[in-house]
Amino acid sequence: MTANSRCSFAKPPGLETQLREIESLLRQCELRAGDSWYVVERRWYEQWKEFVENGDQNSSSFPGQINNAELFEDLESYHLKERLVENEDFMLVPADAWHKLLGWYGMVDGQPPLERKVVDLPSTLKVEVYPVEIFLCLHSNMENVVSSQFSRADDIQSIQRTICETFSVPQASECRLWMKSSDGSCERLRNVHVSVLDACLSSGMTVIMETRNADGTWPSSRPQIIRNSVEEQDYQGQPGVCGLVNLGNTCFMNSALQCLSNTPPLTEYFLQSSYLEELNFTNPLGMKGEIAEAYADVIKQMWSGRHHSMVPRVFKTKVGHFASQFLGYQQHDSQELLSFLLDGLHEDLNRVKNKEYIELCDANGRPDQQVAEEAWRNHLRRNDSVIVDTFHGLFKSTLVCPECRKISVTFDPFCYLSVPLPASKERVMEIFFVSLDPYAKPAQHRVVVPKAGKVSDLCAALSEMTGVPPSKMVVADVFNHHFYKIYNIDESLSCILDRDDIFVYELNTPKQREEQLQQEERVLLALYLRERSYCRDLSSGSSSYGTTLFGHPLLLSVPISCCSQEALYNLFLQRLARYVRCPDPSEELEEGEEDNDEEQQQQKSQTNGISDGEEQEELELPHPCCADANSLSESTNSAESHLDANHTEPPLDSDVTKNGSQDQTEPLASSSANASITDTSSSVSVTDTSSSTNVSITDTSSCTDDMNTSRNSNASSEPPAEQPQQSCDTTEEEKEDGQEACSPRLPANEQPDKRNTCRRRRKTLFTIQAVNSNGTTERKRGEGGSAVSFSSQPYVAIDWDPDMKKRFYNENEAEKYVKHSSMEVPQQQNTVQLQECIELFTTVETLEEENPWYCPVCKKHQLATKKLDLWSLPEVLIIHLKRFSYTKFTREKLESIVDFPLRNLDFSGCLLRKNLSNGEPPSRYDLIAVSNHYGGLRDGHYTSYARNKDNGQWYDFDDSKVTYAREDEIVTNAAYVLFYQRQDKIRKPTLPAPNASPALATRPTGDATSSKCNTSELEAVPVETD
């Protein structure tokens, strides 16, 4: 190479100077991650070194231009040869040394400089001689693939820029990258600010870029949009007016999302893609940006104006992944989801990458303004995001020690206000009263009791309506045809939920104290009704039977001496007289002993399908004709006297139905699932039943008299009507035996023939069995011939054969009940002003024992008094109405109507900082959204009202259904979470208000009614993968 060719470059210094400068740079330069080093072919470098050490400017050892041709596989692609070794094939020089050599000697035309980055590997710093070679393509055209080399120190954003430049994608396009490995699996490259090394990209992988569609979806996502027809694919509607499909009890999520979607500053932040530059992938408290990205996808689809409704399945999956309480498809609270979502968005978008520790300082007498400013600065040092800018305000918290009177003042940030509702001290309960009169239908009453009262208060309130003393009442919870619980008189009413079926039973107890002393001990007997279902084992030939509970259970107060099988049978017939018909003398119910041996043997050995291993005492009841005539007549007269004096059948037009009609009697509203209920227009006739229900026997006449005496004790002072006596009904052929049969029953060993005659002439309607509290398992009988054991609360069941039940048990009559006049009085809903709730929020309260405050002066935990005051308010104020009340003793939802203004909600009277001269914002707010909850504690449904930011129209969002809403229907007793925006930040609508159209019909105004989440009508939606 001639000297003339060297004249085009800067004239190099002397050879000694060149050597000194390059060697100095090589000695001083250390490897630092991200720095650039250059690859130089070793033979050229060695020739240069020999030239500067031994030669002169005109020496034949002059190296000439830098030439790395020996390092390349070919001179077209300029790919480095594989397995080149440092100091054998090439040399590495720092950037400063490279630029000097290049300036002195130049480079062969066409050869690229081999710049390499220093990468920070897990164990060492190293110059990356071989960069990562990655294939690049677009999702829309994956066949057009180009390759490019990137340093492991390059960030993913540099790959994105390269793809945009290579394929002419506009820089303003919103795009995302996917990493496809050699095995075909794909993974999102979420964080474009991480290096290629940290993203685990290696040579041979493919990076695919996709751009967001015009409708807000991504090409790689499976369909999330419900399109009912081809025409809807070209649908263009109002942006933001988009329903959300209920995935299964996800109405709580849909309601919260609709409210946030109609919060202008937050929605515009995501629509403008401002979140992309603020995603925080390293925050240990965040969700790696995934919640923010999933929420952005929902917002962009809802505001694309291309969809009637969309399926938020990916968002639901992300929420469940980071908050396990929202996994699955159970019902949840919209405010709880809202709290999680705002916190998750804040941490994902937090501009503070490394949070410093800041110790909170007490005011210690300093001015509030100074302490508040310090607290807000400290808050921003750790928390700075669009959520803080939009939703965060400042409290002033004042704690006072009850002993030393130490005052602690701090200022704490808040994201929403949870304001209490004024709670009523009374509670309305609906119960059924079961009178002692067997012919009286159960009556439904509505009583007002103290919320913190006891069962005795319920009995006292009911006593005022019925005239029955509270001492004669027992309260029980009936569930699925059995007693779920029998309450003690001193138990708290908080144990009873509004959904429970509560029955109050009138008991037969002695009237006077003296009589109580004379009376023998009584027992509270629980009575269940069961139906037998027989089955036969074909293999063994044996038979057994199972039982099924039906009807409504009863509670009876019975003397212990009257607990034999015979006495209880007669007592139960009397108690069930309204809907159990005893057989007429003309009906044939006789059965021969020899014909019934098999069934009796079966009942001895089988109980509810399980063999007891013990013989059961056979129930032997005399036919009514076997009873003593005088005893029977006395019992009949007693019963009829009671019916004339105490029992007055209500006229047909006095029975009230649920729909307010007067001419029918209602079935009883409890857990009688298997009862076929039809209304009957006639009441039970006293004359028809009096002769057949008062079946008395000599051995148990005292029990019968006891029941009749109790019934007569409630009679009016009018004398009973005289009734004809009833005698045994016998034929002429049986006159002699009949007379003997009507006499008192003798022991079996004295008159076996006549005893057998009685047995052959009767068949009982049902059998009596001692059972457990659920009515499913039989128990042993008591001692001394008693049908039950008194070691614990006794439960008995009467088992019916299906045929006998069909003939003598009137299911329609058993299910009827009447409504007391108290049920006709409409319940008045309390109305409170929102301002009252806010004032209640700022009142002084004493800390609970579970949350004491540590007093720095007393050096111990104290139940201090606490007062919260509002210091500064955010641009968007969220107010959570605490409708769900949970305490140690009660759980309830407050149905009060909170009257909140749609405009000009003024907080000037609540803010401590009243000086607005320093450019501070005003304190007037307008409503922009409401989350509604319909239903009770266990179930319900969420909807939302929201005002569209573009056209100012209010909409009712009910899952996938969206309708117009009027301003006069926004305030209901279902309002749960309120969204207010400060007036100075509200932008005027840019579009005119729309007119009502068939596609969006306004729902009629009405009271808030309960409805449960229903997902049975959802359309099938394909599962989406991200």
Q: DSSP assignment, residue 969?
A: G
> Per the structure block, which two tokens stand in for 6?
């060297």
Run of H or E including 882 = strand 876-882
Q: Could you tell me whether strands 36-41 and 90-94 are parallel, antiparallel, or unpaired per DSSP bridges?
A: antiparallel
Q: Which of 137, 175, 941, 1013 is catalytic?
A: 941
Instruction: For residues 289 and 283, give the distance between their C-alpha atoms in angstroms, rounded to a whole number.
Output: 9
Instruction: For residues 144 and 134, give the distance between their C-alpha atoms in angstroms, rounded to a whole number.
Output: 14
Q: How many helices (H) and strands (E) does the chain have?
A: 24, 42
Q: Mind giving me the DSSP string for 849-864?
A: TTS-EEETTTTEEE--
Instruction: For residues 155 and 198, give the distance between their C-alpha atoms in angstroms, rounded to a whole number.
Output: 9
Q: DSSP assignment, residue 498?
A: T
Instruction: For residues 4 and 67, give the distance between their C-alpha atoms in angstroms, rounded to a whole number.
Output: 18
551, 548, 556, 547: which is closest to 579 by C-alpha?
551
Measured distance between the N- and C-terminal CA atoms of the chain, rounded to whole angstroms:
61
Instruction: For residues 618 and 594, give the distance between their C-alpha atoms in angstroms, rounded to a whole number.
Output: 15
288, 325, 303, 290: which is closest to 257 by C-alpha?
303
Residue 251 is a catalytic residue: yes
Instruction: For residues 541 and 535, give the distance between their C-alpha atoms in angstroms, rounded to a whole number.
Output: 10
201, 194, 146, 199: which is closest to 168 by C-alpha?
146
941, 943, 1019, 945: which is closest to 247 by C-alpha?
1019
Asked if residues 542 and 492 have their Cβ atoms less than 8 Å apart, the reply is no
Instruction: For residues 84 and 454, give the distance between their C-alpha atoms in angstroms, rounded to a whole number.
Output: 90
Token pair 């720092």 in the structure block, residue: 94
Asked if residues 581 and 691 have their Cβ atoms less than 8 Å apart, the reply is no
Q: Cα separations (Å) of 316 from 249, 253, 1023?
A: 12, 8, 12
Q: Could you tell me whether strands 426-434 and 502-506 are parallel, antiparallel, or unpaired per DSSP bridges?
A: parallel
Spell out a b/e string for 710-742, using b for 16 or more CB atoms within 10 Å of the CB, else e.
bbbebbeeeebeebeebebebeeeeeeebeebb
Encoded amino acid at 908, one letter: S
Instruction: For residues 1014 and 91, give the distance between their C-alpha atoms in angstroms, rounded to a whole number.
Output: 73
Q: What are phi and psi of 375, to 5 degrees?
A: -65, -40
Strands (E), 936-984: 940-947, 954-958, 961-964, 975-982
Q: Mind giving me the DSSP string for 341-387?
A: HHHHHHHHT-S-SSPPP------TT--HHHHHHHHHHHHHHH--SHH
Q: Which of 175, 242, 251, 626 is catalytic?
A: 251
- The neighbour count for residue 336, using CB atoms within 10 Å, is 15
Q: Mind giving me the DSSP string for 149-185?
A: EE-TTSBHHHHHHHHHHHHT--TTS-EEEEEE-TTS-
The total number of residues written for the chain in this structure: 1026
Residue 250: exposure state from Cβ atoms within 10 A (0-12, 13-18, ≥19): buried
Q: Mind giving me the DSSP string for 766-832?
A: EEEEEE-TTS-SB----GGGBSS--SS--EEEEEE-HHHHHHHB-HHHHTEEEE-GGGGSPPPPPEE
Sequence-separated contacts (24+) of 732-735 with Cβ below 8 Å: none
Catalytic annotation, residues: 251, 941
